[in-house]
Amino acid sequence: MVLDKGQIYHLYNQGNNQERIFFQKANFYYFLKKIENHICPFADVLAWCLMPNYFHLIIAVQNLKTSYTENTSQKITANEEVSAIRNLKPPNQHQLNNSIATMLRSYTRAINIQQDRTGSLFREDTKAIWLGSIDGEKLKYQNRSKVGGVDLNLDESHLQTCFQYIHNNPVKARIAQQITDWEFSSALDISGIRKESFINKGLIDELGLRI
């Protein structure tokens, strides 16, 4: 998984053998805190959705360590894990990759203890699909036809399509009648129903994304 600065990616993974990864309501909240601690210091989160056996994220990878820390200092309780991440040198691809891996390993350990289970919780590889690159506040699509060996035909609607697809997962899975009925997605934040969020609403607006 290669995550380059200034690029937008769709990240996703699911339970090993399509098994559940969230067993209790508290598990969803715990994983969200993991995202905030392990991904937000390295990237802007544009969308997220947690489902019983998988998760989706859209992130824009940028050197945002300083601005993120300043903007969220009142929202995150100080602890050793967050302090360690904030004290890293300016983020790079390897730091973000390692932080994602750490997030999934630590979550797996907690769930294994809770469920009295052993072994892998997630599939081996977290997928990262490239959606475009940010130059300042504008989205640009690079002149390349393959990402990770997969042919892509990207245009400016691709990010918007993925954005809506992620938020529509609960409706498609028939666990919600409309996207804002599902508590564990960024649809509530983007629609303004929920106020506290780690998504970057400003960048979402600049990119013209809508649910």
Whole-number pLDDT of residue 63: 54
User: Which letter does DSSP use for residue 192 in this model?
Assistant: T
Distance CA 197, CA 194 (A): 8
The predicted structure's pLDDT at residue 157: 75
Q: Compute φ and ψ for 27, nearest 5 degrees.
A: -65, -40
Q: Summarize pLDDT for 1-30 with one digit per residue, the tens.
A: 779 999 999 999 999 999 999 999 999 999
In tens, the pLDDT along 27-45 reads 999 999 999 999 999 999 9
Q: What's the predicted TM-score (pTM) here?
A: 0.80
How far is Cα 67 from Cα 91, in angstroms, rounded to an integer? 13
Q: Which fold has domain 7-206?
A: Alpha-Beta Plaits (3.30.70)
Q: How many other C-beta atoms are found inside a 10 Å radius of the C-beta of residue 133? A: 17
- The two tokens of residue 142 are 């690079």
Domain boundaries, the chain: 7-206
Signed CA dihedral, 85, 70, 29, 209: sign only? negative
Q: What is the mean pLDDT of residues 137-154?
A: 47
